Amino acid sequence: MNPLDRLVEQGEAMAAVPLGPMTTYKLGGSARWLAEVGDRDRMARVVPAWRDSGVPLLVLGRGSNLVVADGGFDGLVVRLVGEFTRIEHHDDRVSAGAAVPLPVLARSAVAAGRLGLEFMVGIPGSVGGAVRQNAGCHGSETVDRLERAVVVDFLTGAECVRGPSELELGYRHSSLASTDVVLEAEFTFVVGDPRSGESTMREITRWRRENQPGGTLNAGSVFKNPDGDSAGRIIDSLGLKGLAVGAASISTRHANFLVAAPGATAAEVRRLVCLIQTEVEARTGLRLEPEIQFVGNFEE
Ligand code: EPU
């Protein structure tokens, strides 16, 4: 018996769990297993079961940068809950569990008169995802404020603390392996007037409403920006806005957003991504690299 099935029997994991509802795209298939981990005790049981299972691991945050294959994910999905959703305001730092949504962290810090994390209000991901991808917007990145992250290595079960340089944070990049799971992170701040932070957050929210296709099913920027340029500008300049594969299309508002209409499939999103890469490369010589993550089997 697979050790993960034993976890299911013991009520510590679930089998055949649809992942679409846990992603911003709301599409794709199911996880073969899913474990919600709310504390270190549960983690200590899930880690060895996963290690002995021989299947791949996916840590799922807010699902805002993710396309799950229509056939699902044949492995274990871990979702952090419970103690990993806590925010603590200390005198010299703000600490947040990896499952905390970034907008919640931004608003909580501002309300406590701790400024510097306002940019996070515009990022629909989690603290763990922000560390993994060095998420950023409006001229700020996670690395600007990150002091350290607590990471558990699922291969060994060992926890360690890593600073920004060990994490090798770069543009939408870190050195974390898929088996490294961020548990919490600590951020620096500057003391300030909450009203100033609120005004910054309002401005970011207004900018996003005007420039990004809010209210649609999307996963934010699909491609990383090439050095010194913008993927959205390039795709737009080639007249590709509105291009569709099935029910997946390039947003008419921002060309680096791919929007899923009702009924869209993961295969359609993937085909559209490949089509854009091919078009852009043929016409500019540039190969755009996806920023979003595809999980599961996408071979047709
Ligand atoms: N542009 C166009 N046509 C378009 C879209 C953009 O001409 O369809 C032009 C804009 O006019 C602007 C330039 O391209 O001159 C850059 O566009 P924008 O300001 O929207 O920024 P971006 O480079 O597309 C980046 C991040 C976003 C982040 C914004 C704001 C990446 C891949 N994307 O977008 O992050 O919100 O800056 O800071 O780095 C994300 O990562 O998911 C994300 C949304």
pLDDT in tens, the chain (300 residues): 999 999 999 999 999 999 999 999 999 999 999 999 999 999 999 999 999 999 999 999 999 999 999 999 999 999 999 999 999 999 999 999 999 999 999 999 999 999 999 999 999 999 999 999 999 999 999 999 999 999 999 999 999 999 999 999 999 999 999 999 999 999 999 999 999 999 999 999 999 999 999 999 999 999 999 999 999 999 999 999 999 999 999 999 999 999 999 999 999 999 999 999 999 999 999 999 999 999 999 986
Sign, CA torsion 115/118/120/124: positive
Output the pTM of the full model: 0.96
Q: How far apart are CA 158 and CA 142, in angstroms?
A: 24
Catalytic site includes residue 9: no
Q: Are 98 and 86 in contact (CB under 8 A)?
A: no
Task: Look at residues 189, 194, 160 and name the one whose alpha carbon lies nearest to residue 177.
Answer: 160
Catalytic site includes residue 79: no
Q: In a mutational test of the pocket of ligand 1, which residue from 221, 225, 291 has the highest number of ligand atoms less than 8 Å from its CB?
A: 221
In short, whether 209's Cβ falls inside 6 Å of ligand 1 is: no
CA-proximal residue: ligand 1, atom 28 (nearest): 137
Chain-centre distance of CA 264, in angstroms? Answer: 20
Take residue 72 and report the two structure tokens written for it: 């699902």
Task: Look at residues 133, 113, 299, 104 and name the one whose alpha carbon lies nearest to residue 224.
Answer: 133
In short, whether 184's Cβ falls inside 6 Å of ligand 1 is: no
CA-proximal residue: ligand 1, atom 40 (nearest): 221
In short, whether 220's Cβ falls inside 6 Å of ligand 1 is: yes
In short, whether 203's Cβ falls inside 6 Å of ligand 1 is: no
CA-proximal residue: ligand 1, atom 36 (nearest): 137
First to last CA, the chain: 31
Take residue 177 and report the two structure tokens written for it: 């392996």
